[in-house]
Amino acid sequence: QKEVEQNSGPLSVPEGAIASLNCTYSDRGSQSFFWYRQYSGKSPELIMFIYSNGDKEDGRFTAQLNKASQYVSLLIRDSQPSDSATYLCAVEGSARQLTFGSGTQLTVLP
Amino acid sequence: EAGVTQFPSHSVIEKGQTVTLRCDPISGHDNLYWYRRVMGKEIKFLLHFVKESKQDESGMPNNRFLAERTGGTYSTLKVQPAELEDSGVYFCASSQARSGANVLTFGAGSRLTVL
């Protein structure tokens, strides 16, 4: 079992729709959870992080964390073509390093 | 504020040659990380510096890889001798965090192609 698992996609949604990205992790001792966005050939850039159970909203983005289920998700509301990218879920363990999932490729269709 | 800078952006070498990748972290960031993404795989941790000290090098694949961070500023990652399976994108990241969520800022990566 991979430490951090994401649906590899690709995921396609129409412009204006909600995109839902999911991630599960295996280490129950994980502290913080991150969503990064990576455009092709570019560096991963942080969208948001969450460390408490529940929802955290930032603009069109909402991260949801359920530690009991070892599950974290990212919702993108009013998706735009510029949101088309690979979304990386990362989990911080006790050693302060991040473990990444393989990423979900999102395409927002105009 | 300048971001994390990596050099070179792309390097093409032959098997058996040596390559040195450089990373300049954000000024004041004590934590410096090297990660690697091999084609089709997830980004994998290589090692972690705190200032000039290696905090964790459990992800280094073998002794052909040598990382240094002299003076606690920039870091280099040397691959000697390079093998075909070393091809991939090498990312450097830095962070300031000593507590709380460890938010990493990534560089643009150094793409290594070993022929």
Q: What is the pLDDT along chain B (115 residues), one digit of tens a residue?
A: 679 999 999 999 999 999 999 999 999 999 999 999 998 889 999 999 999 999 999 999 999 999 999 888 999 999 999 999 999 999 999 998 777 788 999 999 999 999 9
Interface test with A, best of B10, B43, B58, B92 (most A CBs within 10 A): B43
B5–chain A Cβ distance below 8 A for any pair: no
Which residue type sits at A45?
E
Which residue type sits at A20?
S
Mean pLDDT of all residues in A6-10: 84
Provide the pLDDT for residue B57: 93
DSSP B17: -
Q: What is the pLDDT of residues A28-84, one digit of tens each?
A: 888 899 999 999 889 999 999 999 999 999 999 999 999 999 999 999 999 999 999
Given an 8 Å threshold on Cβ–Cβ distance, is A97 in contact with B101? no
Strands A104-109 and A11-14: parallel
